[in-house]
Amino acid sequence: MSPLRQQLLDALELRGFAKRTREAYLHWAIELARHTHTAPEQLDTADLEQFLLHLLRERHLSPSTCNQALHALRFLWCEVLKRPDIVVDLPSPKVPLRLPVILSRLEVARILDAASNLRDRAALMTTYAAGLRVAEVSHLRVADIDSERKALRVEQGKGGRDRYSLLPPQLLETLRRYWRAYRPHIWLFPQRHADVPIDPGQAQKWFYNARDRAGISKKVGIHALRHAFATHLLEAGVDLRTIQELMGHSALSTTQRYLHLVQPNDLSATSRLNLLNDLAA
């Protein structure tokens, strides 16, 4: 491993960056080296601009992906090479504002009912009822289920933050039936032949299979369950600050985008936080 590569990894680890972020930043440093065939310390602002244009024009990568590359370059030059002047004027590609496709309550119920087995249903129900990211679902531990407090602990979510989310009675009962049938030891959803957490891609496959079996034509992935969680809570009258905390958003503005998606209904106040109760009605 080259000294610069090790310095980059050390700087990312010292600052507490998540594993996936560390991998992404290293990936873009390698891509830059392959494209320029030049040591990073010999590059200037114009070279970096040409690399970003290459990603946009020739590789046709999305603006959000190019922004990730830009953040990686800024980190490398600011924190490792100590040359912030090289990246300070690099422009950020504008990311179009697109609203997510939202599943209705009926569509969520159909997807859960169409799950291939109890394990898949438990994982998808947990994703929806607690509003989790797929990586958070994949890394849940059996010990994260707090049945006494009716809460689900999410450890080291995005941004390295711990939080608690919802554990409705219906989800708790499903997880109990799942545990009796599968007996997971440490990880709530382990791989079939090893006591390690499932890959997020596997949970995504469970969702696609259930979506297709349910006859849902919307082109959505498992993250749509998290979007539905936020939108359905807003429709039920739950305040934005509560939803922000449940979802683990660092900024309220991230949660506010769901205001554009709500369709008010007449759910009673007592059922607002229990989305599964509404599905069963």
Catalytic residues: 133, 158, 223, 226, 249, 258
> What are residue 154's DSSP bridge partners?
163
Q: Contact 115/225 with Cβ under 8 angstroms?
A: no
- C-alpha torsion sign, points 190, 192, 196, 202: negative
First to last CA, the chain: 58
Token pair listed for 74: 């800024």
Residues 6+ apart with CB under 8 A from 37: none
For residue 66, the one-letter residue type is C
- Dihedral of CA atoms 256, 257, 260, 265 in degrees, nearest 10, equals -50
Token pair listed for 224: 């749509």
Q: List for the chain the helix, strand, coil content (%; round to 5).
A: 60, 5, 35
Q: Contact 251/237 with Cβ under 8 angstroms?
A: no
CA distance 200 to 205: 9
* 145-146/163-166 β-pairing: unpaired
> What are residue 163's DSSP bridge partners?
154
